[in-house]
Amino acid sequence: MLGPWSMLNFSLTCRTYNSAFKSHMLSITYQSMNRFELPPERFMRIMLATSSIIAGSVPANILSGNNFLPRDLDVITPSSREDSMRNIFTDELGFTLHGSTAPVGLQDTTRIVHTYKKHDKSVRVWIASGENPSVPVMLTTSTFVMNFISPFGIYCAYPRLTLLKRAIINHFTDEGHDSRFDFTYRRVNETFEKYAERGVKFEVNDRNWSDTVRNHICYVSSTCTRTTRNLYDTWGMQIPFPVIYPGVQPVVAKNTRLDSAHTTIWSLGGDYCDDPVLYHRAFSQSKNLYVRTPVDEDLGTDTDSGEECDGECESDEDAEQE
């Protein structure tokens, strides 16, 4: 079976392949919804009525080859639709509210997370702080999960990386100040470990991926951590679904990125991509998790741990072979 990258390339060759590709992606999306006991066509209309999107593992899995089973399905809903979505899940869809927790690392963009369960299936509804549900998606842990499903299609912010199971860590830094995002959170580390176990390769920037990212220019290239991106730039990928909703204008229905009222701007933070010594990559106890650690070049000392290297520190190449 063709991988997602090959299928995408075939879809660009003619209208027949293009139509087949869109139908295939819609079919996989419906299968994913069925897996979590959500009636696909009905839930699409619920998303349309509540301005909600599906984010997290489900769209990432669909885009990267549909070869792992997500543990939860994540829905992001605007703040004003919280009560409506609660009634829909408990009264219409037959789910039970299992608990509510504060979001980890996304407190500025998400107020609370409600977990609904039905049999052994779990759906988490993230309530956005505002009315734009795409904002939390672009402030999540890495580019691998900067995707979402709307009623109109699938949006992928970094297709050249995501379709090949590659990801750049979202640093959330601000011109050298301390990171806004605390990577020591246990649950955040678990997120990296989870995707690493599923074959995702994490990097702090795109320097090691010259095979797919060529002619890198800081602040300009789409995958540069310093480049400012937005939901409507030319680098993201939109896969429209072949569906029509009565009463919805076709020009809007073609827009997988919600509608013109929702504009999201982001960057990945981090440091200059061509600086070889600002950061080195060390592994946590989970072999594949990169942890950003400042390095003092002159002393050869890890300023976080205080351990001296003495010329024997593990290189990036050695670490990648472990």
Helices (H), 241-305: 250-253
- From start to end of 177-217, where are the E strands? 201-203
Cβ(29)–Cβ(40) below 8 Å? yes
Do 93 and 118 form a contact (C-beta atoms < 8 A)?
yes
Ranges 4-13, 44-53, 271-280: which has the least confidence: 271-280
**From CA 238, how far away is CA 148, in angstroms rounded?**
10
Q: Let me know: does 118 contact 37? Beta carbons within 8 Å.
A: yes
- Collapsing DSSP to helix, strand or coil, 194 comes out as helix
Chain mean position to CA 207 = 20
Interval 92-138: pLDDT, tens: 999 999 999 887 666 578 889 999 999 999 999 999 998 999 999 98
- The pLDDT of residue 215 is 73
- Average pLDDT in the chain: 76
Q: Which residue has the tokens 């806004």?
A: 180
- Specify whether the CB–CB gap between 152 and 54 falls below 8 A: no
Q: How many CA atoms lie within 13 A of 164 on its CB side?
A: 12
Least confidently predicted of 12-26, 36-50, 128-142, 177-191: 177-191
Q: According to CATH, what is the number of the domain 4-159+238-270?
A: 3.30.460.10
Does pLDDT of 27 surpass 50? Answer: yes
Please report, rounded to a whole number, the percentage of residues in the chain having pLDDT higher than 70: 67
Q: 263 falls in which pLDDT band (50, 70, 90)? A: confident
Per-residue pLDDT tens for 197-256? 888 888 888 877 777 666 777 788 888 888 899 988 889 998 999 988 887 765 555 566
- pLDDT of 36 reads 96
Q: pTM for this one?
A: 0.78
Question: Which pLDDT belongs to residue 212?
Answer: 65
Distance between CA atoms of residues 59 and 110, nearest Å: 19
Amino acid (1-letter code) at residue 16: T
- Name the DSSP class of 169: B
Q: Which of 34-43, 148-157, 193-202 has the lowest mean pLDDT?
A: 193-202
pLDDT at residue 302 tops 50: no
- For the record, the structure tokens of 270 come out as 């981090």
User: In this predicted model, which residue has the larger pLDDT, 289 or 71?
Assistant: 71
Inter-CA distances, 293 with 149, 179, 283, 308, Å: 34, 11, 10, 14
